């Protein structure tokens, strides 16, 4: 059964992960630009990172039959430095023309500071100018609720971007309702400790519906699971949810959101192979 992971950081993962994801049915991924776990010392570090995302990683994914798409930006964890951030923003347009770049992201907030808000607004203006979809990182843990509200206010006040072209990621039970009510897409990240589990991911679908909701792994260099979407599918089935709902949450919705970029090519969907029961 095919699935799409619309948020995963493959530069931090091994080729074994690609192998396992392909075997589990992964046909396409999108990789937002993010923090490497340490701060880069110059904008040149980002230039090389963007080349990695646009040249090297698509090749690596293709070897396993997986289509690789990406997003570019200065991430919120390094956005406190205004000078560095603006140097990175200045090089973004050069990469927007790459065949696998489908938007700006993951922009957002980390500690909800004034500088972070400034850089978020400048990147929203860039997305507006170049007519790009946006994927948004919301802060972790105690900072999430405040940060999510500040982000949505910034989008509303500082840009003309259609909320249907913006995915607010890492929603949880205390933020998903606001995100959906304001017309945005919501991303459910199933990531140990700081985000959610497959069980809570399915709970969110039960309680808030599947409209404008994508499930993802956000898997990166930390303790995380690139196979968590197939595990969520198992949880859906364990609860006897329909295959239509599973397909919508792990394939169709991601396809719909990512198709906000004309560069995204819809992968073919392969239905689950149901074996006849033994006689």
**Burial annotation 61-96 (CB, 10 A radius, 16+ → b, else e):** beebebbbbbbbbbbbbbbbeeebbebbbeebeebb
Q: Give the relative orientation of helices 228-238 and 198-208 as an angle to the nearest 10 degrees.
A: 60
Alpha carbon distance 51, 57 (integer Å): 9
Least distance to other proteins, CB of residue 51, Å: 25
Complex with other proteins: residue 97 or 222, whichever CB lies closer: 222
Cα→Cα distances 164→17, 88, 137, Å: 31, 26, 16
Q: 149 near 157, Cβ under 8 Å?
A: no
Least distance to other proteins, CB of residue 168, Å: 16
Helix (H) or strand (E) holding 89: helix 82-96
Give the residues lining the site for other proteins (CB under 8 A): 77, 80, 110-117, 139-146, 149-150, 172-174, 177, 194, 199-200, 203, 205-210, 238-241, 245
Complex with other proteins: residue 63 or 82, whichever CB lies closer: 82
Complex with other proteins: residue 29 or 180, whichever CB lies closer: 180
Alpha carbon distance 66, 89 (integer Å): 29
Least distance to other proteins, CB of residue 111, Å: 4
Complex with other proteins: residue 26 or 202, whichever CB lies closer: 202
Least distance to other proteins, CB of residue 84, Å: 13
Least distance to other proteins, CB of residue 109, Å: 8
Complex with other proteins: residue 75 or 100, whichever CB lies closer: 75
Q: 56 near 87, Cβ under 8 Å?
A: no
Least distance to other proteins, CB of residue 98, Å: 29
Nearest by Cα to 77 from 105, 50, 116: 116
Complex with other proteins: residue 25 or 196, whichever CB lies closer: 196
Least distance to other proteins, CB of residue 151, Å: 11
Complex with other proteins: residue 20 or 80, whichever CB lies closer: 80
Q: What is the DSSP string of 184-242?
A: -EEEEEB-TTTSB-HHHHHHHHHHH-STTEEEE----SSS--TTHHHHHHHHHHHTT--
Nearest by Cα to 192 from 168, 227, 167: 227
């Amino acid at each position: 059964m095919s699935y799409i992971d619309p948020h995963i950081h493959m530069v931090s993962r091994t080729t074994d992960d690609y192998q396992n994801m392909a075997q589990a049915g992964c046909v396409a991924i999108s990789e937002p630009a993010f923090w490497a776990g340490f701060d880069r010392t110059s904008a040149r570090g980002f230039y090389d990172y963007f080349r990695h995302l646009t040249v090297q990683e698509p090749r690596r994914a293709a070897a396993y039959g997986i289509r690789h798409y990406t997003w570019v930006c200065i991430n919120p964890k390094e956005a406190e430095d205004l000078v560095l951030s603006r140097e990175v923003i200045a090089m973004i347009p050069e990469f927007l023309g790459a065949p696998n770049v489908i938007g700006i992201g993951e922009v957002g907030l980390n500690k909800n500071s004034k500088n972070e808000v400034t850089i978020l607004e400048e990147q929203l203006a860039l997305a507006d100018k170049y007519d790009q979809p946006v994927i948004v990182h919301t802060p972790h843990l105690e900072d999430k609720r405040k940060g999510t509200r500040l982000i949505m206010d910034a989008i509303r006040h500082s840009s003309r971007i259609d909320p249907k072209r913006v995915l607010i990621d890492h929603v949880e039970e205390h933020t998903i309702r606001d995100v959906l009510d304001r017309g945005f897409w919501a991303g459910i990240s199933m990531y140990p400790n700081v985000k959610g589990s497959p069980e809570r991911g399915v709970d969110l679908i039960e309680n808030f519906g599947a409209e404008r909701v994508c499930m993802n792994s956000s898997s990166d260099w930390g303790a995380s699971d690139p196979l968590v979407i197939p595990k969520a599918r198992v949880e859906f089935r364990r609860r006897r949810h329909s295959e239509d709902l599973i397909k919508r949450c792990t394939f169709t919705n991601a396809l719909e959101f990512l198709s906000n970029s004309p560069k995204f090519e819809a992968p073919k969907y392969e239905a689950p192979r149901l074996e006849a029961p033994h006689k």
